[in-house]
Amino acid sequence: MTDQELQQQIETLDKDIQPQRDLWAGIEHAIEHRSQKKQPKSRATFTPYAWAASVVFAVLLTWQLLPTQQVQAPVEVAAVDPVSLLQEQYQEQRNSMLVSFGEPDLTQLPDNIKQQFDELDSAQESLLKALQEDPNNKDLLNLLKWTQQQELSLLDQLYSPKWQSI
């Protein structure tokens, strides 16, 4: 069908389309039905009281739950050594990882893998020595944490089952 044929058919259509039945009766019914469904006045006056009661309840509840002003003795906080904390966390992760892998014998590794472990161990030792002099040095702490994570990821790569690495 060409554009000209389509245009001719459009021009032959009736411009004034009339509904098949009178729609005004349905519209009047809907308007009357809506005006009859308005809320009763008793509900309209109840809503502000409900809001006020909920606000009063919240204020009273908050007032009851707030602690009274009492002077408490200062709590002493033990100084935490970040280096020992990092070491403990690392040892726990390493031990749990080795246990989950069936406690493999790390002395039976190929030479290149042993060399990587040795390099990571020597890096950790030198970082621990440096941290003895400056235990709050964030750069050294970050390097120690990074070397520990490298060793853990190397263990994970060596001993995790192949189906988990898919």
**pLDDT tens string 69-84:** 555 556 555 667 888 8
Residue 67: what pLDDT?
Answer: 65
pTM over 0.75: no
Residue 149: what pLDDT?
Answer: 92
Please report, for residues 99, 110, 111, the alpha-carbon distance to residue 105 in angstroms, rounded to integers and kept in the order given. Answer: 11, 12, 14
- 137, with CB counted inside 10 A (0-12, 13-18, 19+), is middle
Place of tokens 């988990």: 164
Residue 72: what pLDDT?
Answer: 57
Q: Residue length, the chain? A: 166
Residue 24 host element (H or E): helix 24-36
Amino acid at the residue 116: Q
Residue 5: what pLDDT?
Answer: 92
Cα–Cα distance for residue pair 21/19, rounded to 1 Å = 5
Q: Tens place of pLDDT for every residue, the chain, 166 residues?
A: 789 998 998 888 877 777 778 888 888 888 887 777 665 555 555 677 777 878 887 777 777 777 655 555 565 556 678 888 888 998 999 888 888 878 777 777 788 888 888 898 999 999 889 888 888 888 888 988 999 999 888 888 887 766 555 5
